[in-house]
């Protein structure tokens, strides 16, 4: 087998382009919406109201108990039969946000619970309301605890966005697939795709370590 170096170099462009215009924005948007959703769901889960916490528990259970690919297909291929027709991009962002929301909600809930009760009490005794205490005292401390697991969720999301290729989103992996189908060089193209994912995840791991160091500045070492 002769190695087609020209193809290797010429295909990196579309693959990296797919990362920049597809994978990365899709990840960032889904993670941002997903985190907001997760915070809301975590607070509902912690609510003394049984109906609210029940709804949140049900949501988390469904998201974690079904495959992400099925969630994507329900939204993109399933909803049109109910009259809801969404384009690939909105479908992907909705599916990934809902997915992140389910997983990150449990992380955030556990992080909030890990902050000692005395911190709530101290907030109350200096006159803070429950919301003020949550925002200014509890969440900053919960954030430190939740960075490592949330980073894992984020890195998983980067890789999971490759599934969006199956609902026609033009991203890293779909570009690789198309060139592979056209050139029949499957090994080369899929290894290239793998390499680009890996580099992105390596960069994220480095950023994660830096963030953890920064958030650890007020903790004894």
Partner 1 sequence: MSPTDPVDASLVLSARGLTKSFGSNTVLRGIDLDVRRGKVVALIGPSGSGKTTVLRSLNGLEVPDGGTVTFGVAADGGGSGGAGRPLALDFGSPVGKREIAALRDRSAMVFQHYNLFPHMTVLKNVTEGPVQVQKRPKAEAEAEALRLLARVGLAEKRDAYPFQLSGGQQQRVGIVRALALKPQLLLFDEPTSALDPELVGEVLAVIKELAEEGWTMVIVTHELGFARHVADEVVFMDGGVVVERGPAAEVLGAPRQERTKQFVKRIQHEV
Which of these, 162, 165, 168, 172, lies nearest to 14 by C-alpha position? 172
Residue 119 lies near partner 1 (rule: CB under 8 A): yes
Select the residue interacting with partner 1 from 10, 61, 66, 129 (CB under 8 A).
129
Q: Does 147 bind partner 1 (CB under 8 A)?
A: no
Confirm if 100 and 30 have CB atoms less than 8 A apart: yes
Decide whether 8 or 128 has the Cβ nearer to partner 1. 128
Q: Which is nearer to partner 1, 201 or 215 (CB)?
A: 215
CA 19/CA 150 separation, integer angstroms: 21
192: how many CB neighbours lie within 10 A of its CB?
23
If one asks whether residue 122 binds partner 1 (CB under 8 A), the answer comes out as yes
Q: In terms of DSSP H, where are the helices of the chain?
A: 5-18, 24-46, 50-65, 68-73, 88-114, 117-125, 130-133, 139-160, 172-183, 186-215
Residue 7 CB burial class (10 angstroms; 0-12, 13-18, ≥19): middle
Report, in Å, the least distance between residue 179 CB and partner 1. 49
Smallest CA-to-CA distance from 160 within 142, 172, 148, 144 is with 172
Query: Is 136 a binder of partner 1 (CB under 8 A)?
Result: yes
Specify the stretch interacting with partner 1 by CB under 8 A; choose among 106-114, 136-144, 165-173, 197-205: 136-144
- Binding flag, residue 69, partner 1 (CB under 8 A): no
Q: Is 128 in the site for partner 1 (CB under 8 A)?
A: yes
Site for partner 1 in 181-220 (CB under 8 A): 217-220
Using the rule CB under 8 A, is 118 a contact of partner 1? yes
List 23, 27, 71, 141, residue binding partner 1 (CB under 8 A)? 141
Binding site for partner 1 (CB under 8 A): 116, 118-119, 121-122, 124-130, 132, 136-137, 140-141, 144, 217-220
């Amino acid at each position: 087998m002769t190695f087609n170096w020209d193809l290797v170099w010429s295909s990196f462009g579309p693959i990296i382009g797919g990362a920049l215009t597809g994978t990365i924005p899709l990840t960032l948007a889904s993670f941002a919406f997903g985190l907001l959703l997760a915070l809301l769901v975590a607070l509902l889960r912690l609510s003394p109201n049984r109906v609210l916490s029940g709804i949140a528990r049900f949501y988390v259970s469904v998201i974690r108990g079904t495959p992400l690919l099925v969630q994507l297909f329900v939204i993109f291929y399933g909803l049109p039969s109910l009259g809801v027709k969404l384009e690939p991009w909105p479908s992907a962002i909705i599916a990934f946000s809902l997915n992140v929301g389910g997983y990150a909600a449990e992380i955030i809930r556990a992080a909030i619970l890990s902050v000692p009760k005395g911190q709530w009490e101290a907030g109350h005794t200096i006159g803070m309301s429950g919301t003020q205490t949550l925002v200014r005292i509890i969440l900053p401390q919960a954030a430190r605890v939740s960075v490592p697991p949330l980073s894992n969720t984020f890195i998983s999301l980067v890789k999971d966005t490759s599934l969006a290729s199956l609902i026609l989103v033009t991203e890293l992996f779909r570009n690789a697939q198309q060139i592979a189908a056209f050139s029949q060089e499957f090994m080369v193209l899929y290894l290239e795709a793998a390499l680009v994912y890996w580099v992105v995840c390596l960069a994220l791991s480095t950023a994660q370590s830096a963030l953890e160091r920064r958030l650890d500045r007020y903790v004894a070492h």
